[in-house]
Structure 1
Amino acid sequence: MKPDTLPAPAPAPGTDEAEWIEAQLVASLLRTSSITQLVGLFLVPIFVAVLWDNADPTALLLWTGGSIVLALARFATMRKYTREVMGAGAREHLEFFGRFGQLWPVSAFVWGLAALLFFGRVRLTDQFVCWLLLAGLAMFSVYGQSGHLRTFHRWLDTLSLTCLAVIFWHTGVELRFQGPLYHYAVAVLVVVFWQLLRQTGDRLHHTHRHNFELKYRNNELIESLRRQTQAALDAVGIKNRFLASAAHDLRQPVHALGLYADWLSSEPEMVHQIAPKIVESTKAVNALFDSLFDLVRLDSGKIRLNIEPVDLEQLLRELDLQYRPLAQAKGLDFRVRAAPGRVMSDGILLRRIVGNLISNAIKYTQSGGVLIAARAGRSHGCIEVWDTGPGIDPAHQRDIFREFYKVPGYLGTEDGFGLGLYIVSRLSTILGHPLALASRPGRGTMFRVILEPTDERQAVDRAAAAVRQLVSMP
């Protein structure tokens, strides 16, 4: 495979399109540079052979030495590029070319100075051959350098302007415009040839650039399809995990309901003992379905917001009525401390957040108690839920907010889907209420909901962004 046909590497994630395309154009130029250098070195001895008999020997040797030194410098640069930069990223290519890009116009300047050796100084046949050699080199530069348009322009412009300067010097300064007419014809031909090559190079460059643009966008499309495929596979995995968890968690209360029903049908006189157990099993099933429905509403984005002033004292009184009996049934001390005040939030969703935290605190606390405290400040309020449960090990404190996550070995984790804190985290993010956690294993846990004022429009935007992030999650 030729160096100029090596496939361009796929852009790294997050690479800017313009930067990547520019780097690939630079890489294309650098990959063809060795070939153009070989062509240039091949032409040097031909020039020397043509001009050896009738050119100034000193000038010819100086020009030949300069050409060879410059060629060696470019070969060393290409070796450095191959060894250190070829496999690197876009930025490294651009930085490398920024350091060594001047070699191309300097090379064109040296080749342009070759006109000093032959124009008006040797036989016409030798001049014709030398002009053909320079024209061939310029045409080859269209193939080798048009990938990077700025470099191609600088090389061709430098070569053409140097040749024109030599023509002007010999015709205007040395001959005082008294030379033969063909001198002016050569100048016109140089200008015409210069512009034709420039236009040809521009068209080839647009082809190069268009190819790399297609390459970049194709890779973006492939990456997008890969992410979507992975998201679909992850969704299937989540669904399978959910179904397995749901089947496991629903089996126990539903099985218990069946046993209690059979027991009641065979011993109806024990209705007073069996009925409360049926009620508890029914509550467990309802709680599981409540979590499921919350998750569905969050993931579908069909959650309704009603931002208004929320009375913290009233909110905690309602939660006290709902959860105190559950705490007392477990023999736990249940205390509520609320300072008067209002915060801007969605009352229903805020109640769901705090209710989930209280429910978890009661579920995992086997002795001691649960404290709920609320206060409203000038800028924001907060609600704290304290418990004397087993605490949460630091290794699990990030994971407990993931869906379906259950801390291994904790009493109470066998009941539920592992969705309570996941729902709390999602709802607090939507409402703009930061959630804080402090826990000491064996001593207890404190969750704090910081009630920063909620703006309804921003909350809707956050809810939509959360759904988009869920859908596009790799």
Structure 2
Amino acid sequence: MKPDTTPPNATPAESQWVDGELVRSLMRTQRTTQPLGLALIPIFLAVLWNDASRAALLLWAAATVAAAGLRLWVVRRYERNVIHAGPESQLAFLREWGLAWPASAALWGLTTALFFLRAPLADQFVCWLVLAGLAMFSINTLSSHLPTMRRYLDALAVTSVAVMLWRILDPLPPVAYEWWMVLLLVVFWQVLRQAGLRLHTTHRRNFELQYRNNQLIDSLTRQTQAALDAVEIKNRFLASAAHDIRQPVHALGLYADWLGSEPELVHDIAPKIVESTKAVNALFDSLFDLVRLDSGKIKLNIEELRLDKLLHDLELQYRPLAEAKGLQLRVHAVPGTVVSDPILLQRIVGNLISNAVKYTRKGGVLVAARMTRRGPRIEIWDTGVGIAPAHQREIFREFFKVPGHSGTEDGFGLGLYIVARLSHILGHPLHLSSRPGRGSVFRLHVNPTDANLAASRAAAAIDLRANQPARVDAVAAEPVDPASRHSREGGNPWRPLSRPALESHGSPPARG
């Protein structure tokens, strides 16, 4: 039964790599085998010198030396230009220069014309031994690349059989043993092809095993690194969570003791207890979101929802928070629908509004929804502290807090990380423009969410966590060149939000 040369479960990438390595193996053997082929030429000349035409012998020897020189030149060209190239280049080189081997084999097959039925039987026997040895040697040196080996054997055998038939069908009456010689040569040819196939299969499986071992090593390396990263993240998480939760819990204990000893101060202490409780709840909400994302089990409910209703619901939720800081919160939403997960989309926009309010001291926050040529877009503008370009991608990493940023002492460094993860899952690209001291704008393009793609991205959340840069691939920092924004949108691109601008029902003011 003919063995398979490629396992059924081999991937295209694996097969291509193995093919390239087989070509490399073939070319590595050629430089060392060339001298043996050249050493056989004098043997033929010595055996047939008195039996064949000397001119024909010398012509054949010259042609065979030239063919050997061509093969040596091909090997050197390969070593100069292709040896370190990829599998495609390896295979292309052999397709271009692979005929050098069957051409050399054909010249050796033509030696049959010099000795078959011409030389004494003893000399013919020596010549057949040389050709048989050459053929057997070729399956060891050429079997790495099956097509090259087969072309070599076929050229050698077909040329020899053709010459033998030509000599047998000479007007002289044929002898029975001559036909047996042809049959023996054909059988020997097929046996060599099968032996070469089996040897090639061994070579291929060795390289397949090497490829899979390399893949396994790479996989183990990645998993080890992922485990180390997970330990590091866990340590940072515990340190950050312990630090962030200690203060409000400690405050709760103090307020409770204070209230127990002086119950008449309940109206002063109760709001402080409420604020501390909110801080603890905010941390736990973020941690629960993080756990759901990293478990890959976040539930998706993709449906059509009204964008204006979503934003007005968020306005009711965050207006008291803004007014408590003396900020103006305006919402401008055009009627329209989007396809997304209403809860996750609300979580994304809510986190962005919460951050805008947290890092804005004066002025206000504008939440706007508009229809663009690329589809619906939600924008959150603020007149806050802004974000330096060096931190505009780092802020989307978990537990990251901008050094020296006012307001970060009350945060956990999880809000924008969760925003980036959720926007990636839903397929809503997020863009940031910001300038320190002048404010920021987040633009969320609410493209229609494909339920199947969103589910696959959610299931891959653990892999995304293991690769830090991949977590923010849905986030891009826009250019912050004031001149370019000024020319595109008109007016001062970085002016703070004024009261008329916040109260306008038109487009948001042009800021970077």
TM-score by length of 1: 0.89
Work out the CA distance in 1 between the residues paired with 2:42 and 2:365: 94
Work out the CA distance in 2 between the residues paired with 1:84 and 1:111: 29
- Report the AA paired with residue 398 of structure 1: R
Which of 239, 249, 256 is equivalent to 2:251?
Answer: 256
Q: In structure 2, the residue corresponding to 1:418 is in which secondary structure?
A: coil
List per-residue Cα deviations over 1:182-212 (Å, max 9, x = no partner): 4333222221221221122122222222222
Q: Is residue 367 from structure 1 mapped to residue 349 from structure 2 by the alignment?
A: no
List per-residue Cα deviations over 1:68-94 (Å, max 9, x = no partner): 222222223323334444344323322
Q: In the superposition, relative to structure 1, how do residues 129 and 455 fare at CA in structure 2: closer, same or farther (>3 Å)?
A: closer
- Report the AA paired with residue 101 of structure 1: G
- Report the AA paired with residue 58 of structure 1: A
Q: What is the 5 A alignment of 1:217-296?
A: 217-265=212-260, 267-296=262-291
Contact 1:312–1:375 (CA under 8 A) maintained in structure 2: no
- Report the AA paired with residue 159 of structure 1: L
Which of 303, 311, 316 is equivalent to 1:316?
Answer: 311
Q: How many residues align?
A: 459
List per-residue Cα deviations over 1:365-400 (Å, max 9, x = no partner): 111111112346899533221100122223322222
Work out the CA distance in 1 between the residues paired with 2:74 and 2:15: 25
Match in the other structure for 1:409: 404
Aligned-residue CA RMSD (Å): 2.6
Which of 382, 387, 402 is equivalent to 1:392?
Answer: 387
Match in the other structure for 2:146: 149
Work out the CA distance in 2 between the residues paired with 1:201 and 1:366: 80
List per-residue Cα deviations over 1:136-165 (Å, max 9, x = no partner): 111111221222211111101101111112
Which of 43, 53, 57 is equivalent to 1:56?
Answer: 53
Q: Is residue 451 from structure 1 mapped to residue 446 from structure 2 by the alignment?
A: yes
Which of 207, 215, 218 is equivalent to 2:202?
Answer: 207
Match in the other structure for 1:41: 38
Q: In the superposition, relative to structure 1, how do residues 54 and 238 fare at CA in structure 2: closer, same or farther (>3 Å)?
A: same
Q: In structure 1, the residue corresponding to 2:409 is in which secondary structure?
A: coil
Which of 125, 129, 138 is equivalent to 1:128?
Answer: 125
Q: In structure 1, the residue corresponding to 2:135 is in which secondary structure?
A: helix
Work out the CA distance in 2 between the residues paired with 1:271 and 1:430: 45
Q: What is the 5 A alignment of 1:304-383?
A: 304-375=299-370, 380-383=375-378
Q: Percent identity?
A: 63
Match in the other structure for 1:4: none
Q: Is residue 302 from structure 1 mapped to residue 297 from structure 2 by the alignment?
A: yes
- Report the AA paired with residue 19 of structure 1: Q
Work out the CA distance in 2 between the residues paired with 1:447 and 1:472: 24
Work out the CA distance in 1 between the residues paired with 2:172 and 2:143: 36
Q: In structure 2, the residue corresponding to 1:16 is in which secondary structure?
A: helix
Match in the other structure for 1:75: 72
Match in the other structure for 2:180: 185
Contact 1:343–1:376 (CA under 8 A) maintained in structure 2: no
Contact 1:227–1:472 (CA under 8 A) maintained in structure 2: no
Contact 1:312–1:341 (CA under 8 A) maintained in structure 2: yes
Q: In structure 1, the residue corresponding to 2:332 is in which secondary structure?
A: strand
Deviation at 1:457, TM superposition (A): 4.5
Which deviates more, 66-75 or 147-156?
66-75
Q: In the superposition, relative to structure 1, how do residues 126 and 251 fare at CA in structure 2: closer, same or farther (>3 Å)?
A: same
Which deviates more, 335-344 or 279-288?
335-344
- Report the AA paired with residue 421 of structure 2: R
Deviation at 1:180, TM superposition (A): 4.1
- Report the AA paired with residue 380 of structure 2: V
Q: In structure 2, the residue corresponding to 1:384 is in which secondary structure?
A: strand
- Which residues of structure 2 form unaligned runs of 5+? 1-10, 471-512
Work out the CA distance in 2 between the residues paired with 1:456 and 1:254: 40
Which deviates more, 133-142 or 441-450?
441-450
Q: In structure 2, the residue corresponding to 1:23 is in which secondary structure?
A: helix
Work out the CA distance in 2 between the residues paired with 1:66 and 1:377: 74
Work out the CA distance in 2 between the residues paired with 1:314 and 1:146: 71
Work out the CA distance in 2 between the residues paired with 1:391 and 1:424: 18
List per-residue Cα deviations over 1:389-432 (Å, max 9, x = no partner): 12222332222222222222211122222111111122223333
Contact 2:297–2:458 (CA under 8 A) maintained in structure 1: no
List per-residue Cα deviations over 1:223-272 (Å, max 9, x = no partner): 22222222222211211111111122222222333343444455554443
Q: In structure 2, the residue corresponding to 1:414 is in which secondary structure?
A: helix
Q: In structure 1, the residue corresponding to 2:410 is in which secondary structure?
A: coil
Q: In the superposition, relative to structure 1, how do residues 346 and 28 fare at CA in structure 2: closer, same or farther (>3 Å)?
A: closer
Contact 2:115–2:127 (CA under 8 A) maintained in structure 1: yes
Contact 1:112–1:162 (CA under 8 A) maintained in structure 2: yes
Contact 2:26–2:141 (CA under 8 A) maintained in structure 1: yes
Match in the other structure for 1:216: 211
Match in the other structure for 1:100: 97
Contact 2:229–2:466 (CA under 8 A) maintained in structure 1: no
Q: In structure 1, the residue corresponding to 2:119 is in which secondary structure?
A: coil
- Report the AA paired with residue 322 of structure 2: A
Deviation at 1:275, TM superposition (A): 2.8
TM-score by length of 2: 0.83
Work out the CA distance in 2 between the residues paired with 1:262 and 1:424: 38
